[in-house]
Structure 1
Amino acid sequence: MSEFFFFYGTLRHEALLSAVVGRKLAPQRAVLPRTCLVEARDGTRELAFPIPVPGPDGLEGVMVALSAKERARLDYYEAGFQRDRAQVLSNGQPTDVWLYRPAPGRWQQGASWEFAHWQARWGAIAVAAAQEFMRGFGSVPADRALARYPQMLVRAASRLRAEAMPTPAELRRQAQPEDIVIEAETVGYAHFFAVEDYRLRHRTFSGGETAPLDRAVFVSGDAACVLPYDPVRDRVLLIEQFRPGPMARGDRNPWMLEPIAGRVDPFETPEEAVRREAVEEAGLSVGRLIVAPNYYPTPGAKSEFIYNFIALTELSDGVGSPGGMIDEGEDIRPHLVSFAQLEGLLASGELLNGPAVLLTLWLARLRPELRAAAGA
């Protein structure tokens, strides 16, 4: 037996609702009387959904009839909310419906919330994240999936950036959609990162096809790195912090010298990410960004893609301050390093971080032109 559900917020986006429910729907317009929407906030941070509050006007939304299985899928996706009964007007007629509301007092109320603004900014990412979220329906507990949702948003944004990237193929193969067949896909581990197991076949250079292959991929979001450079003083700013990767390998000194770097959050560009990270990690406001080569650091096993920049920045004595996000356990200190010393660190093997090596070599390529332009 089907029942009516009313959607006033993000699930008004038909592509998102279809991804959650599992089929294409034909919703009809409806209005929830004496209600308006405000944005949900967690402290100062705007969240990606609204809160319904009493208001003088009617709240426009959509209404659909759902089967028992579709209701179960919806309950799974809306695990952080509570399902309530309400009455809406559809074609002027009152209709009893179910709707989802945030638990009272769980989030703060912000400014008014506009569906069109959310749809333009968040819609495509929300759909991609929902597709990953709903793959756990029936196998991953809802509370576990909900805890991972912020990371799903990061990976969704990374997938959309990947789809929008140019794919030059002057030398390499020009891939076609039919060249790869995924027979099975499972998630072996999922927390801050995820490990996805694939059984796949792909086209060979001879025109045939491989036998089924088992491959595992360590899945993380995109990252962005920036090396601040002062062409007048001919110096850069590096940061130093503990890294668990070298520790796990057995490196006797897991403190790494690196460029400023961090994850590209959903709904920000790589350029916005490095400017934010420069403030968080070194108390530094960077200047003009120069694009350096972007790359996959470990394409045989990882999905991570790294964007790289050199930032023209005044680096006077004493600039930069110890930084890092305390709630993320970061402990970071900055170093002002002359370009000659930077090359020495690279030659001695003390500079072991991949983006630091790449950006040092790229800066060496651009340095004469940058110093000449600065009158150095």
Structure 2
Amino acid sequence: MSNLFFYGTLRYRPLLELVLCEAGVSLDMVPAELPEHQVYGVQDQPFPMIMPAPGQSANGVLVRGLSTDQIERLNFYEGGFDYDLRPMTLRVSGGQTIEALVYFPREGTWTPGDIWNLEGWAQEWGELTLHAAAEVMAFYGRLTPVEIAANFRPIRIRAAARIAAAARAPDPDHDLTRDVVVEKHNRGYLNHFAMDDMVLRHRRYDGTMSDSLSRAGLMTGQASVILPYDPRRDQVLIVEQFRAPVYMIGDPAPWMWEAVAGMIDPGETPEQAALRELREEAHLEARALEPAGKAYSSSGSSTEFVHLFVALADIIKETSAGGLACEGEDIRSRILSFDALMALVDAQEIKDLPLLSLANWLARHRARLRG
């Protein structure tokens, strides 16, 4: 059967075309409804589910005559959400009935929330979903839906980071439509982080275009980095945890003393993420957050954009049980006087660049904060 009924996000035409990898594709689409069913939002997720609902009717679109390749691409995308096709009887205009396949969630996978509507979803989640789906579909035929699903959270974090990056101030001296030419773009790797590589040319300062350059970037998201400071006691709190990349490069001390830090989730502000990470990693509640800068952490190799904060808090006790076990975190904290922190800075014993930046910011603003 090549007839499919879409009741949820695939009714959003830009998403459907992206999944099918056919922009502007001609499809045989007609309005339809599935009797005795209703569409609900999934709790804590940006997509809907369909369930039996006596006396209700789920509205959607019937797409007829889909090819085998199109259905396989749809199955790959929907399979990551644990959705499978079931044959159902639909009602179309004039009261006629027609058989079609419908994506249903596997029993017990998701918890229904409120009644879902496409317009509200598109306004809140449409752009992010398009970015996330582009990354997902780049791995069609290379990864399984299960492997994709294991990385949904970092995929969405990266999608939100792309939206935030696009909203930053443009470069008044360059026109990206003319001054950068992408010859090849490959999404090479997908996991907790991703790796993209490009062959591109860019405008040189003498006005000519550069030769083709092969470059790769670690694709990550936005992060909040926070140094807790107690003005009354004149002390800070730092955290220590094992860092796999430091171990991978051969550093003999991969347990790193750092500022509190964490990725910013979709729909979360940098400030909200900062407060959440303080609770999770340091068991602290902040009275106030002092913005201390925002920047790319390593612009030659990574897309990570960090928001730096000094958090004013009562720092009384340390912990050896910080972080979330479900995220593999094992974090302990340490209280230092301000002078002890700066002694570490001057001795060049701090290897974490955000902590180093925050310590120097605090040194410039400490008198004001204590006052």
Query: Partner of 2:139 in structure 1?
Result: 136
RMSD: 2.3
Query: Partner of 1:75 in structure 2?
Result: 75
Q: Hey, what's the Cα distance between the residues in 2 that align with 1:338 and 1:221?
A: 32
Query: Partner of 1:310 in structure 2?
Result: 310
Letter in 1 for 2:367: P
What are the superposed Cα offsets for residues 316-364 of structure 1, whole Å, 9 maximum, x if unpaired?
Answer: x226663111122221111222211111121122222111011111112
Distance change >3 Å, CA 167–CA 232, structure 1 → 2: farther
Whether 1:35 aligns to 2:34 is no
Query: Partner of 1:50 in structure 2?
Result: 48
CA contact (8 A) 1:122 1:267 kept: no
Query: Partner of 1:7 in structure 2?
Result: 6
What is the SS of the residue equivalent to 2:159? helix
Report the alpha carbon displacement of residue 175 of structure 1 after superposing the two structures with TM.
4.3
Whether 1:107 aligns to 2:110 is yes
What is the SS of the residue equivalent to 2:192? coil
What is the SS of the residue equivalent to 1:58? strand
Whether 1:192 aligns to 2:218 is no
Distance change >3 Å, CA 310–CA 29, structure 1 → 2: farther
Q: Which one of 85, 88, 112 corresponds to residue 87 of structure 2?
A: 85
Query: Partner of 2:64 in structure 1?
Result: 65
Whether 1:358 aligns to 2:357 is yes
TM-score of the two chains, using structure 2 as the length reference: 0.90
Report the alpha carbon displacement of residue 156 of structure 1 after superposing the two structures with TM.
0.9
Query: Partner of 2:156 in structure 1?
Result: 153
Q: Hey, what's the Cα distance between the residues in 2 that align with 1:320 and 1:14?
A: 50
CA contact (8 A) 1:282 1:321 kept: no
Query: Partner of 1:343 in structure 2?
Result: 342
TM-score of the two chains, using structure 1 as the length reference: 0.89
Q: Hey, what's the Cα distance between the residues in 2 that align with 1:116 and 1:229?
A: 44
Distance change >3 Å, CA 238–CA 175, structure 1 → 2: farther
Letter in 2 for 1:52: I
Among the aligned pairs, what percent are the same residue? 36
Query: Partner of 1:176 in structure 2?
Result: 176
Distance change >3 Å, CA 133–CA 268, structure 1 → 2: same
What is the SS of the residue equivalent to 1:34? strand
32-41 or 72-81: which moved more?
32-41
- Number of matched residues? 363
Which 4+ stretches in 1 moved above 6 angstroms?
none
What are the superposed Cα offsets for residues 291-340 of structure 1, whole Å, 9 maximum, x if unpaired?
Answer: 2211112211112111111122222x226663111122221111222211
Q: Hey, what's the Cα distance between the residues in 2 that align with 1:92 and 1:227?
A: 65
Q: Hey, what's the Cα distance between the residues in 2 that align with 1:19 and 1:212?
A: 28
What are the superposed Cα offsets for residues 58-81 of structure 1, whole Å, 9 maximum, x if unpaired?
Answer: 112223335303222212211231
Letter in 2 for 1:151: P
Letter in 2 for 1:101: F
Q: Hey, what's the Cα distance between the residues in 1 that align with 2:112 and 2:241?
A: 37
What is the SS of the residue equivalent to 1:359? helix
Q: Hey, what's the Cα distance between the residues in 1 that align with 2:256 and 2:142?
A: 39
Q: Hey, what's the Cα distance between the residues in 2 that align with 1:175 and 1:262?
A: 33
Alignment of 1:236-315 (within 5 A): 236-315=236-315
266-275 or 203-212: which moved more?
266-275
CA contact (8 A) 1:83 1:101 kept: yes
What is the SS of the residue equivalent to 2:148? helix
Letter in 1 for 2:323: G
Q: Hey, what's the Cα distance between the residues in 1 that align with 2:213 and 2:114?
A: 51
Distance change >3 Å, CA 242–CA 137, structure 1 → 2: closer
350-359 or 138-147: which moved more?
138-147
Q: Hey, what's the Cα distance between the residues in 2 that align with 1:336 and 1:95?
A: 68
Structure 1 unaligned blocks of 5 or more: none
129-138 or 156-165: which moved more?
129-138
CA contact (8 A) 1:39 1:109 kept: yes
CA contact (8 A) 1:182 1:198 kept: yes
CA contact (8 A) 1:283 1:321 kept: no
Q: Hey, what's the Cα distance between the residues in 1 that align with 2:273 and 2:65?
A: 41
Q: Hey, what's the Cα distance between the residues in 1 that align with 2:238 and 2:170?
A: 32
Structure 2 unaligned blocks of 5 or more: none
What is the SS of the residue equivalent to 1:252? coil
Distance change >3 Å, CA 367–CA 15, structure 1 → 2: same
Letter in 1 for 2:273: A
CA contact (8 A) 2:318 2:332 kept: no
Report the alpha carbon displacement of residue 137 of structure 1 after superposing the two structures with TM.
2.6
Query: Partner of 2:125 in structure 1?
Result: 122
What is the SS of the residue equivalent to 2:56? coil
